[in-house]
């Protein structure tokens, strides 16, 4: 995919600039009077969560395109998005957990968002494992694409079932709802917006890097297979 080679340096440069500006704003931003310095964790947590979900959307779109048109490029992008999305999901979970300790007094709460994120991480892992446990790469690609679409339908159901579970079954003893989780207004907003843009660029950049690596691996595998065939 030549286009990746062309856009990669541009996206990389834009990512570095946006990250630098965003982190400068974070450094300058005042501490929140309720959360104190811990609000700085949210500047990583919230954009990471956005990219973790956006990666899944991207992955679903690429999977549909692959099943429909059979473009190998779409499959490579889907595979890349799974790895990138998993990395962002890990940071979302870790930063949420580290934020929860001083704010909620516990590392983990089974609220709808954290639970959905955990399921999302297992789903990303499942997509990666499924692809590599089938010997035929085409079968692996197709099975992975179908699983991605099923996951895309399941994720909202999971989210709402956990919301119902927490509200109907036992009202949350910890205030983990919309009110306290993200409480960013006024002067705290600009760094969040800039870092969100920076993370979108970062996610894109990571996808291009990973996609080129996957493409190189596939080329090498094809070359080796052809040579083995030739030797026989």
List contacts with another protein (CB under 8 A).
31, 36-38, 40-41, 44-45, 48, 67, 83-84, 87, 90-91, 94-95, 98-99, 101-102, 115, 119, 122-123, 125-126, 129-130, 133-135, 139, 142-143, 146-147, 149-151, 153-154, 157-158, 160-162, 164-165, 168-169, 202, 205-206, 209-210, 212-213, 216-217, 219-220, 223-224, 227, 230
Indicate the residue among 146 and 193 with the shorter CB distance to another protein.
146
Closest to 120 (Cα-Cα) out of 186, 22, 54: 54
Burial class of residue 15 (count of CB atoms within 10 Å of its CB; 0-12, 13-18, 19+): buried
State in angstroms the smallest separation of the CB of 131 from another protein. 10
Indicate the residue among 69 and 169 with the shorter CB distance to another protein.
169
Tokens linked to 5: 């080679």
State in angstroms the smallest separation of the CB of 99 from another protein. 7
State in angstroms the smallest separation of the CB of 212 from another protein. 5
Indicate the residue among 30 and 186 with the shorter CB distance to another protein.
30
Contact 140/131 with Cβ under 8 angstroms? yes
Indicate the residue among 125 and 189 with the shorter CB distance to another protein.
125
Distance CA 52, CA 194 (A): 17
Closest to 151 (Cα-Cα) out of 119, 128, 111, 129: 119
Distances (CA, A) of 47 to 149, 172, 203: 24, 25, 10
State in angstroms the smallest separation of the CB of 107 from another protein. 11
Indicate the residue among 21 and 90 with the shorter CB distance to another protein.
90
Burial class of residue 208 (count of CB atoms within 10 Å of its CB; 0-12, 13-18, 19+): buried
């Amino acid at each position: 995919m030549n286009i990746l080679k062309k856009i990669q340096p541009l996206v990389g440069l834009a990512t570095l600039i946006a990250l630098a500006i965003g982190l400068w704003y974070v450094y300058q931003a005042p501490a929140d009077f309720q959360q104190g310095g811990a609000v700085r964790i949210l500047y990583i947590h919230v954009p990471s969560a956005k990219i973790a979900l956006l990666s899944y959307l991207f992955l679903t779109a690429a999977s549909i395109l692959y099943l429909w048109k059979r473009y190998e490029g779409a499959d490579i992008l889907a595979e890349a998005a799974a790895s990138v999305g998993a990395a962002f999901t890990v940071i979302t979970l870790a930063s949420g957990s580290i934020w929860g300790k001083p704010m909620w007094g516990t590392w983990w709460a089974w609220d709808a968002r954290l639970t959905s994120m955990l399921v999302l991480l297992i789903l990303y892992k499942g997509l990666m494992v499924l692809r590599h446990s089938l010997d035929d790469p085409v079968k692996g690609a197709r099975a992975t694409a179908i699983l991605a679409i099923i996951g895309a339908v399941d994720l909202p159901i999971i989210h709402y079932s956990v919301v119902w579970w927490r509200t109907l079954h036992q009202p949350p003893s910890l205030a983990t709802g919309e009110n306290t989780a993200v409480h960013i207004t006024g002067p705290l907003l600009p760094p969040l917006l800039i870092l969100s843009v920076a993370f979108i660029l970062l996610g894109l950049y990571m996808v291009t890097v990973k996609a080129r690596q996957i493409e190189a691996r596939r080329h090498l595998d094809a070359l080796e297979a052809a040579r083995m065939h030739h030797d026989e």
